[in-house]
Structure 1
Amino acid sequence: MRFAVVDIETTGGFPSQHGITEIAIVLYNGSEVEGIYETLVNPHQPIPPFVIGMTGITNAMVEAAPSFHEVAPQIYNLLKNRVFVAHNVNFDFSFVKHHLKEAGFELQTPKLCTIRLSRKVFPGFPKYGLGHLCRQLNIEIENRHRAGGDAKATAKVLDLVLQNNGERLVKEMLQKENREQLMPPNLPGHYIQSLPDSPGVYYFHNKLGKVIYVGKAKNIKKRVVSHFTGLDLSKKRQDFLREIYEISYTECPTEFIAILFESIEIKRLWPAFNKSQKKFEQLWAIYQFEDNRGYLRLAIDKKHKNAQPVQAFSLLADAHRELWKLVREFELHPALCFLDKTIPNEWPDSKIHNEQVKKALHYIASEKASYIIKESNTAILIEKGKFVGMGPIDHLEMAEPSAPAYIAAVKEAVTPYAENEVIKSMLRKYLERYPHRVVRIVE
């Protein structure tokens, strides 16, 4: 097996914004070093003072150095057909791949992380950063925080891994289905291994244990792993991955239950990296009023605090979709619902029109009945059109439910949750799609 052990120094932490100031590549065949390549690189941007202090690489040192475009062909030829190895490989690989691509080269090579290898082959060390690890393994690092010194030390770590029966582990980590090297740098692999293949809601935690992201999935393990595949080089994604230290999850009987529970948890926890569903609710509504000509009108407007709407929606598009549905089903004139701005030649009879509007309002009111949606062994309880909660109901008899005793029994069985507009919208769409799964509660 042929390896290219790489270390780079940079002007910052994000490939799309920062440049490489130095790169070193140690060519290693599994038993001996075949060659070493090392060069300073002109990043064509200032090196921050704290980076100068850490690496010792100054702006004057790189001024006469070649640009990455100049050395890219040689770097690409050294890396192709080899396993790309680095300590915290995602950092080095993302930089090299990005800058090679800008120079016209597409790097497609497997990669291997010596941090993850070392955690498995040498368990129990307090830290696995390169400096700490080399002290534990009695590896001397010459010229620390310079690409050449760190790359040579990383090559020695890889050599010790292979000497300690690590070859099998290396092969396992390089298998296509093994994506462990793609995980966030601060997330131990056992969190992925313990994830189930069932529907549910998962949580990413930071180093303090706080939930920073909530997601839902049909297959928890598959969905979580998908977060870590690919090479999105944006600062936002890199910040996100570095914040993940732990993963927890809650299994759900079906994907739809998971969708509802995700919304509940986002509203409850307000995670930093969730963007959807974190906004003010009930922004739009359908209102009813009578105009000066005696026509009952239905109109969409922003949700007003002190006004009672016919229906409320989190999205304007949902409000329009619902009103057009009422227009079609009850033969209402679009102009009298403010959906058509053209003035018709002839207005409909007001009495006939008003009767149709009343039928539409009655239809909406009927949707505010009490009912149960049964998903697997779980019930979602809606009482008088309001989401109450959900929970297992295996022990309850579903035939001919009657109120109030039956509602009381279901309420006892389910866990109450706060309603929100996202949940209301999802339930409305579910009812339209799966009416046969609805059990009406007789009141």
Structure 2
Amino acid sequence: MTNYAIVDIETTGGKYNEEGITEIAIYKYNGHEVVDQFISLVNPERKIQEFVVNLTGINSNMLKNAPKFYEVAKRIVEITEDCILVAHNAQFDYRILQTEFRRLGFQFERETLCTVELAKELIPDQASYSLGKLARALGIPVSDRHRAAGDAQATVKLFKMILDKDLEKSIVQSSIRTKPKYQLEPKHLDIIDQLPSITGVYYIHKEGGEIIYIGKSKNIKKRINQHFTSNAPKAKKIQNKVVAVTYEATGSELVALLKESAEIKKNKPIFNRALRRTIFTHGLFSYVDDNGYINLKIDKANGKQKPITTFSNRQSAKSFMFKIVETYSLCQKLTGLYKTNTSCFNYTIKNCEGACINEELPESYNKRVLQLIDKNSYESKDLVIIDRGRDVDERSAIVIENGVFKGLGFFNLNYQIHNLDVLHSIITPMENNRDTQHIIQAYLRKNKQLKVISLKQNEVN
């Protein structure tokens, strides 16, 4: 598992390479949660510039009894060991650390990642990339701005969002490439041992970090165990090539399905390619007959006609049709479930109001059909589907605008989804295609209790 040391440093200011550290915060982050932390004031043994005192509130008086850098150096080395150093403007924090260690006669070297550069690439078109303004635009709460712990915590949240938005998984793949321990022959049991039994997307890497397979599961540990114990030819090839398995928790199965679909298309892993086929085969279509009634029919999804909703196979389409006939009191004949030239069977037992023999007016019958169509199609709608998040206080948001799937993200505060600018910034943009439409519609059919918010009126359905 790749570890990151997310760092923020406050300094005395002053001439280049003459600054001293006044406060340092380091959060060790394993890509999913903070596993260790170190926060300390530091006596810089030099004057603090007046403007820095005004900015941070840290003055010489506060630092009199603080440890000097040499007293905290060992802890800094330990907590950043085998970690990639992450900071907002990493060049600055890394330079300051190297300077302090150089004064002690120690060569401090770590791989680095800069959240300013990553944000510019993965969260483009922001008005400012300063930590405070970027955090505000993304709805990230910052406590104690310009204090090391507050800024480092905000950087953790920002980095978490950046990892979510990296659909090509370039950060994780390059992290594996730079870590020599991954080049050793791994034991499959060791890999399984480090994985959690949670819902999410998993990535199987070969030597050099390249992803060779992407999958999703409600239980990642169990699923990887199946990959490693299967005797199927594809599984055997994966077992021979694997050096690491990384994962991304999603909490929501819908988010996992959508991420898996998008990331397979982006990364084209070698062992997904052969098996990747359209995940739906049939669709629900409608047409108006000569008497003015809206008829429904199940047909193969051929890409030429636009279906109301899609299904993985004919059987699931059929069972859906039987359910809606009962729920909306529709006619078996006009839904293709009962072939007849006269009335349908349901009419004889008084469960159909007679649309099959022109007894019920088309206006009355069509009203119920349109209700069904509206319920099962999100065409032209502006919605946010709210589902489970990765933590207790987090939720996931799947955004649809004008019937087009725009992307997904995670949020902790309702303000983040009711403010459209923030919502657009926190979501990871994704392609709208037939697969994503099918995934979303099938999930909505199965999970009737999902919270759905209308974007424009903020009405909860």
Task: Give the TM-score of the pair, scaled to structure 1.
Answer: 0.48
* Greater C-alpha Rg: 1
